[in-house]
């Protein structure tokens, strides 16, 4: 072995040793960068792209609903047990809509009931239209809302009466400019259920 080749081998080994020593540092740094990226992506998906913190079915945050689900279910059953009901007159069309709602007990209007309305679509809160406590006229709650999208809409009605707070849901279908109702997962399931019950002809 010549002196020149020995010196070259020594330089090569030294470079390899330096790379091995630094590789651990670069590896750890890469893990942190990937972790930070995944955390940022998760936050974006949860908060920006798919905000699901609100449970529209019960008009509350998911954590609150989870913590109070037993009480909510009890109040819903108690509402029915006491003979309360909600009558809905909500013809649907594109544009301005005027609806009437009556909270009844034994067929008579309940004078001290409070009524709040959330107009929403299934699996999204992008188009939510929330009406605060509705005004009352001749025993009926009056609500006006403008709908700009055809298809299935859900009316989430929150009723407060005698210490009870319940949510009731009513489906409306808004035809498009040609008089057709676009198919959706929700109204498709409703039609199938009605056909199975014999209340709708295929």
Whole-number Å distance between alpha carbons of 159 and 64: 18
What superfamily would CATH give domain 56-197? Answer: Macroglobulin (MG2) domain (2.60.40.1930)
Ranges 8-22, 114-128, 154-168, most confident:
154-168
Strands 54-55 and 114-121: unpaired
DSSP structure class, residue 182: -
Q: What local confidence, expressed as pLDDT, does residue 54 receive?
A: 45
Q: Residue 71 is encoded by which pair of tokens? A: 């009480």
Collapsing DSSP to helix, strand or coil, 43 comes out as helix
**Window from 30-39, 99-108, 136-145, 153-162 with minimum mean pLDDT:** 30-39
Whole-number Å distance between alpha carbons of 120 and 102: 20
Q: Give per-residue pLDDT as tens, 19-55.
A: 666 666 667 777 777 777 777 666 655 544 444 444 4
Q: How far is CA 84 from the centre of its chain?
A: 27
* Domain map (residue ranges) of the chain: 1-50, 56-197
Q: Residue 123 is encoded by which pair of tokens? A: 């699996």
pLDDT above 80: residue 17 = no
């Amino acid at each position: 072995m010549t002196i020149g080749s020995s010196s070259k081998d020594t330089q090569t080994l030294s470079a390899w040793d330096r790379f091995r020593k630094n590789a651990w540092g670069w590896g750890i740094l890469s893990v942190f960068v990937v972790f930070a990226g995944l955390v940022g992506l998760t936050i974006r998906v949860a908060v920006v792209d798919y905000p699901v913190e609100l449970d529209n079915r019960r008009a509350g945050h998911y954590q609150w609903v989870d913590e109070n689900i037993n009480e909510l279910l009890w109040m819903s059953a108690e509402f029915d047990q006491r003979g309360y009901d909600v009558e809905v007159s909500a013809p649907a069309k594109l544009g301005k809509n005027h609806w009437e709602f009556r909270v009844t007990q034994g067929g008579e209007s309940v004078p001290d009931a409070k009524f709040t309305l959330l107009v929403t679509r299934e699996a999204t809160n992008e188009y939510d239209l929330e009406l605060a406590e509705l005004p009352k006229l001749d025993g009926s709650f009056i609500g006006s809302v403008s709908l700009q999208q055809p298809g299935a809409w859900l009316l989430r009605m929150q009723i407060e009466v005698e210490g009870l707070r319940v949510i009731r849901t009513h489906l409306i279908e808004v035809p498009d400019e040609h008089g057709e109702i676009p198919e959706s997962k929700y109204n498709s399931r409703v039609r199938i259920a009605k056909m199975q019950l014999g209340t709708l002809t295929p």
